[in-house]
A and B are shown apart, each in its own frame.
Chain A
Amino acid sequence: MGAKTPNILLKLAGISVEFQERVALRHIDLNVEQQEIVAVIGPNGAGKTTLFNVICGQVKPSSGTIHFDGRDITRWSSHRICHQGIARTFQIARPFPQMSTRQNILMGLWFGAGKPYGSPAAQARAEELLELVDLSPKVDLPAKELTLSEQRRLEIARALATNPRFLLLDEVAAGLSPHAIKEMAELIKTLRQQGLTLLLTDHFLTLTSKVSDRLVALDQGEIIMEGKPDQVLQSADVISAYLGERNQERS
C-alpha cells in the first residue's frame, strides 16, 4: 500500500518497536503532510526519540511500514534515508567534536548533498547556513568548544546542509533561553516557508505549541491524542500523562 494522497509526505502504518522484552512503540499510525509542522509531545520515555530513530533507520521496527514520498523506506539504512531527503537533529547534540564548525557543515554538504569539500558551491552554501543559524563568528572553532545551544544550532545547519525535504528536530527547545526559543520559532517558520516539512519533539511544550499545526501526544509508546495544539493540551489524558510523570519524578 503506497501513499495514496499526493500531499502526504511521511506515512507510518502500524509501527511497533520492541527492545528485549520492553515495548517502546505500539502500533503507531501517523501521517505528515507536505509543509506541515507536526510536534510529538509526551513525558520522558514516552517513545519520542524512538519514533525518530525508527523513521531515520537507526532502529528497525518489529512490525509496520514507513512510506516517504510514496516509497517504502521501512528497512533502509540511515544513509539511504538521508539521500531520500530526511534529516534530523539529536536529543543530545552530536557534532563531529574535532572538526571546525564549518567542516561539520561541509560534511553534510558533501555526503548528503554531493557538494565536494573544496568546491565554491559548498563554500557558498556553508556561509549561507552559518548565517542562518547565526554561527558565522565561530566558523573556525572546533565543534566541541561551542556552547550547547550553539551545538544545537550547528546541528540544524548541518542537517539542512544535506538538502532535506523533511526535517526532524529532537528536543528543539531544550537548553535554550526564552529569547533563543523565540528565534528558534522564527527559524522553524522560515524553514517551512522554504518548503520544508518538519516533525518536532519538545518535552516542555514551550515552543511546539506556538509553531506547530498539529500535536501528537505520545504516552508509553502509544498515541493517546492527536489534533490542534490547544485541543490536545486541554485533553485530560495528556494532562494526566504529564502529571503522572511529575509525581514519579518527585518520589
Chain B
Amino acid sequence: MIRTATSPAVLGFTAALLFFIFSPFLLQDNAVYYRVMTMTFFYGALALAWNLYALTGNISLGHAAFFGLGAYGSALLSHYWHLSPWATVLFGGMVGAVYGLLWTVAFGCLRGARFALATLASVEIPRVIIDNWESFTFGSLGVVGITGFSAVRVGSVSIALGESLKAQYYLLLCCTLVILLIHRQFIKSKWGWAVRALREEETAASMLGVNVHFTRSVTLLLSAFLTGLCGGVYAHLMGLIEPPLVFSLHISALPLVLTMFGGRYLVCGPLLGALILYPLDQVLFHSLLPVGHSILYGLIIIVTLLFFPHGIGSWVQRRRTFS
C-alpha cells in the first residue's frame, strides 16, 4: 500500500539533486550563486522542520522563538565555553526543544487561530528577556564574532567550512537532505498517519487508539529541536546574531509561506517552495525593489490561500491521491 512516489516525482527529485551536486563544477566561483542557494537550502530546511508540526493541523506563527533560542544557545555556549560549533549547534537544538516542551505544556489544549496567536505572542518572551539580560546575552548589541564551522578533514583533503562558500553550500545541501529524509520518513510512517488522522478528525482518531496528546507533543518537540538546530547553524554561518534578527517575524513567516506555496502535505513541498521563491526573491525582487522586497512573500501567502490552498506541488501529484 505504501508505494514509493510515482516516477515523475522521483525523476524530478533525482534530476534536481544531481543538478545541485554538480552545478558547482560548472559554475566554478560564482559567489552569488553559492550565497543564494546556501540560503535557499537553509530556508528549505527551516520550512521542512516547521511543517512537521503544521502537519498536525496547528499553524505556528512563532517558530522564530525556537530559532532564536537555538541561535543564542549555540552562540553563547560557543562564546563562553569555546566548544566546537558541531557541539554547540546540537545544544542550540536542545534549547529549542526545551522551549517546545513549554509550548506543549502551556498550549496543549489550544487549536486553530488561538494556537496561532499564542505562538505569535510567545516569541516576545525570549526576545525581551535576551534583549534585557545584557550582562549575559549582550542585549541589543547582539553576539558578534561567533566562531565559524571548523575545517573538516576528509582523508587528506581539508574542507574549510568557515571560509569557503562552496563548502558551506554543500554543508547546507547535506543538512537539508537530512531534514528532508526525516520529513519523508515522518510522513510515510505509522507516526505520520497518526498525525494525519488527528489532523483530519481528532476525536475520532483518539477513539481509534491514537494517543493524540503524546503524538502532538513529540511532533512539536521534534519540530522545535530541528528549528533550534537551524538557528545554531545560522549563528555560526553568519558570525553575528542580535534579537531583532533571529526573533523576527520574517523567520516565523517564511516557513509558512514556502510550505503553503510548495504544498503542505507533500514530502518535498516545503523544499519546493523554498527552491522557487527564495531565488525569485533574491534575484528578481531584490534588484527591482531593494527595500521591501519581502512583499513577495506576503503576496504569495494571500494568493496561495485564496486560489490554490494545497500549494503548487498538488498540481504535480493530483492524480494518485487515493491509491
Please determine if A and B sit in direct contact within the complex, based on CB atoms under 8 angstroms apart.
yes
The CA-CA distance from A97 to B196 in the complex, in Å, is 11
How many residues on the B side are at the interface (Cβ–Cβ under 8 A)?
21
Q: Min CB distance, A100 to chain B, in Å?
A: 5
- With both beta carbons as reference points, the residue of chain B lying nearest to A53 in the complex is identified as B203
A83: contacting residue among B200, B204, B209, CB under 8 A: B209
| In contact, A95 and B203 (Cβ under 8 angstroms) | no
In the complex, whether B213 has a CB less than 8 A from a CB of chain A is yes
| In contact, B209 and A95 (Cβ under 8 angstroms) | no
The CA-CA distance from A159 to B209 in the complex, in Å, is 10
- Which chain A residues numbered 1 to 46 have a C-beta less than 8 Å away from chain B? none
- With both beta carbons as reference points, the residue of chain B lying nearest to A97 in the complex is identified as B200
- Which chain A residues numbered 85 to 127 have a C-beta less than 8 Å away from chain B? 87-88, 90, 94-100, 103, 106-108, 110-112, 116-118, 123
In the complex, whether B208 has a CB less than 8 A from a CB of chain A is yes
Residues in B whose Cβ lies below 8 Å from that of A155: 204
Residues in A whose Cβ lies below 8 Å from that of B190: 110, 116-117
| In contact, B201 and A162 (Cβ under 8 angstroms) | no
| In contact, B208 and A118 (Cβ under 8 angstroms) | no
In the complex, whether B218 has a CB less than 8 A from a CB of chain A is no
| In contact, A117 and B193 (Cβ under 8 angstroms) | yes
Q: Min CB distance, B165 to chain A, in Å?
A: 43
In the complex, whether A50 has a CB less than 8 A from a CB of chain B is no
- Which chain B residues numbered 186 to 227 have a C-beta less than 8 Å away from chain A? 190, 193-194, 196-197, 200-201, 203-213
| In contact, B206 and A77 (Cβ under 8 angstroms) | yes
| In contact, A117 and B1 (Cβ under 8 angstroms) | yes
The CA-CA distance from A123 to B209 in the complex, in Å, is 19
How many residues on the A side are at the interface (Cβ–Cβ under 8 A)?
37
| In contact, B209 and A111 (Cβ under 8 angstroms) | yes
| In contact, A82 and B204 (Cβ under 8 angstroms) | no
| In contact, A58 and B206 (Cβ under 8 angstroms) | yes
| In contact, B200 and A99 (Cβ under 8 angstroms) | yes
| In contact, B1 and A78 (Cβ under 8 angstroms) | no
In the complex, whether B2 has a CB less than 8 A from a CB of chain A is yes
Residues in B whose Cβ lies below 8 Å from that of A123: 1
| In contact, A94 and B204 (Cβ under 8 angstroms) | yes
Residues in B whose Cβ lies below 8 Å from that of A108: 208-209
In the complex, whether B322 has a CB less than 8 A from a CB of chain A is yes
| In contact, B322 and A56 (Cβ under 8 angstroms) | no
B194: contacting residue among A87, A111, A142, A159, CB under 8 A: A111
Residues in A whose Cβ lies below 8 Å from that of B211: 77, 79
Residues in B whose Cβ lies below 8 Å from that of A110: 190, 193
| In contact, A82 and B203 (Cβ under 8 angstroms) | no
Residues in A whose Cβ lies below 8 Å from that of B206: 57-58, 77-79, 82
In the complex, whether A214 has a CB less than 8 A from a CB of chain B is no
**Residue of B200, B204, B213 most packed against chain A (CB within 10 A):** B204
| In contact, B1 and A142 (Cβ under 8 angstroms) | no
19 further contact pairs, Cβ within 8 A, besides A95-B204, A111-B209, A141-B322: A56-B207, A58-B206, A77-B211, A77-B213, A78-B206, A79-B212, A82-B208, A90-B203, A96-B196, A96-B200, A100-B322, A110-B190, A111-B194, A112-B209, A116-B190, A117-B190, A117-B193, A155-B204, A159-B207
